[in-house]
Amino acid sequence: MDSTVLIFVGAIAAFGIFALATVWMGKKRTKAWQEMAGELGIAFVGENNDVMTRCAEMKIFSRGRARRFQNAISGDAGDTKITLGDYRYKTSSGKNSKTRVQTVCVLQSEQLELPHCFLRPEVFLFDAIGGKLGGQDIDFPEDEAFSGSFVLQGDNETAVRSLFDADARQWFREKAGRRFYFEARDNTLVFHTGNRRPPQEAKLLMQQALEIMNVLTKTS
């Protein structure tokens, strides 16, 4: 058989194996999320959720294309609705297309009334360039440790500064170095760590999101 044909056949076979492995891993992950929902005593709703609609104005859900919120589990903690799952989206197109997945926790409560704000870890060189180009980063001259650890943004800077008082900044300073990303708007808070997490960490992710909510609402 011609070497070119062998290479072509090999490439097709490799692609088929990769596709099958991807499907198998996806089903395995979905099953793990279903089992975790059972352990936590909450519902597994899969793709039958309205997260993308409820959070349409959030930064994270405006990234890329072919956006889907999968493997969702949902329950309540008091008056707060918690939904946790995998946000999948694609970047670029054609040969450069990449699928990215981030495990995201969404909290929603009618008791919340938060100004729009977004926080993530600061990346020194990247954010230094961004600052030169006019990228927003709300800094606190009296708290260089906080300002040097996080990028903080928001529509109403005065309201965001009031929200991030000394106690709130101290709490985040103690978490500096962790992959904390969150965005809040009105009655919704979205939290993630920037990547896909194992279903076994579901309870921890929920606790972290609730902690952030409590810090911002000054509750214990």
* Tens-digit pLDDT profile for residues 178-219: 888 999 999 999 999 999 999 999 999 999 999 999 999 986
In this prediction, residue 21 carries a pLDDT of 46
Sheet holding 65-77, edge to edge: 43-46, 65-77, 80-91, 98-108, 188-192, 181-186, 114-121, 150-154
The SS3 call for residue 109 is: coil
State the pLDDT at residue 64.
Answer: 86
Residue 92, Cβ density class (10 Å: 0-12 exposed, 13-18 middle, ≥19 buried): exposed
So where are the chain's domains? 3-108, 114-186
The segments of the chain whose pLDDT lies below 70 read: 1-25, 124-135, 219-220
**Residue closest to 30 by CA, chosen among 15, 47, 17:** 47
Closest CA to 172 of 113, 127, 116, 122: 122
Amino acid sitting at position 144: E
Q: Which residue do the tokens 């011609």 mark? A: 2
* 181-186 and 188-192 strand pairing: antiparallel
